[in-house]
Amino acid sequence: MQPSNLPQNGLFWTLSAYTVWGLMPLFYQHLKGVEAMEIFALRVLWSVPLMALLLWLTVTPVRVFKMLMEPKTFFWLFLSTACISTSWYLNTWGATHGQVLMVSLAFFLTPLISILIGVFYLRERLTPLQKLALILCASGFIYACLNLDTFPWITVGIALAFGCYGVIKKQVKIDTLNGLSAEVILMIPFALFYLIGTAGETHWEAGEGDVRLLLALTAPMTILPLGLFAFGVVRMKNLSSVAILQYIEPTLYFLLAVFVFGEAIDAERLTTFGLVWAGFIVFSVDALKRAKVAKAVGTLELDKPNI
């Protein structure tokens, strides 16, 4: 099935993906009282048929089993699975326990975590603006640790997990859909282990119709924006725009937390977010400048006469 009748504007589909992701806490508010681990386990199991369907709809060659048979690729995919599982679980826990604000902060910090990993692991050199962005974000984080009532462990956990996930995925040459399919497959044993261990105690088995439906919908609510993103990002003419669009999600999280869920935004949290936002703005300016330079260099290379 070729989606030839769909709009081919990559910006539209990518923007739609981040908007759906950003509004996800509205969905999870209806699952308060359900253990985050149960939500995670059922989301994994329901994702299996949906990933198969998505691979078919997008006419993506199925390479997942071949990739899992390669020891080096399996190693990196196992690590990426651990990271994305941690991020999924903590994100779900935060959305169902009134911590959407701190989840939002985590996503604003994630690109800076990726920069730090690049410096210490990949030996990348920082630009002056990146150094300034790191100082501002680190100041916000340190301020939060010293002034908030409790240590922001959920923020640290998601930022580290998702930051590491991005770096690890660069070690594996695999498309988005096959990559996520491999990760879902690797999650299955852990999901089954939890569900078997809690047999007779889960909300799914309690037989509540509305809750069962919502738990079943956790998979499409995860896969839908991924499909939108996969369809849109390959059609984006300017990939540097994706670096800016990704902040739609935490921005919507922040707005929902404050104006819909009524989470407290006191002076300490406002100062923390102010410093992190300043770092994010500096980081975005640097990313756009470097993308502009790279584009100019590419244009010059194309314009060189063949000798």
pLDDT in tens, 121-180: 767 778 888 889 888 888 988 888 888 778 889 999 998 898 888 778 778 778 878 888
97's CB contacts (< 8 A; 6+ apart) are 32, 36
CB atoms near residue 3 (< 10 Å): 11
Instruction: Using only the alpha carbons of the chain, give its radius of gyration.
Output: 20
10 contacts 234 by C-beta, under 8 angstroms: yes
Tokens at residue 263, please? 């989470």
Rounded CA separation 15/289 (Å): 22
7's CB contacts (< 8 A; 6+ apart) are 13
pLDDT at 29: 92
pLDDT at 44: 94
- Report which DSSP code applies to 33: T
CA distances for 225 relative to 96, 113, 120, 302, angstroms = 20, 24, 32, 35
pLDDT at 1: 46
Tokens at residue 98, please? 């009134």
Rounded CA separation 307/78 (Å): 48
pLDDT at 184: 92
Rounded CA separation 234/221 (Å): 21
Rounded CA separation 260/145 (Å): 26
273's CB contacts (< 8 A; 6+ apart) are 105, 108, 140, 254
pLDDT at 82: 94
pLDDT < 70: residue spans in the chain: 1-9, 122, 207-209, 230, 234, 236-243, 294-307
pLDDT at 300: 45
- The pTM of the full predicted model, rounded to 2 decimals, is 0.82
143 contacts 137 by C-beta, under 8 angstroms: no
**How is the chain split into domains, by residue range?**
10-300
- Report which DSSP code applies to 98: T
Tokens at residue 78, please? 């196992």
pLDDT digits (tens, 9 = 90+) for 81-102: 999 999 999 999 999 999 999 9
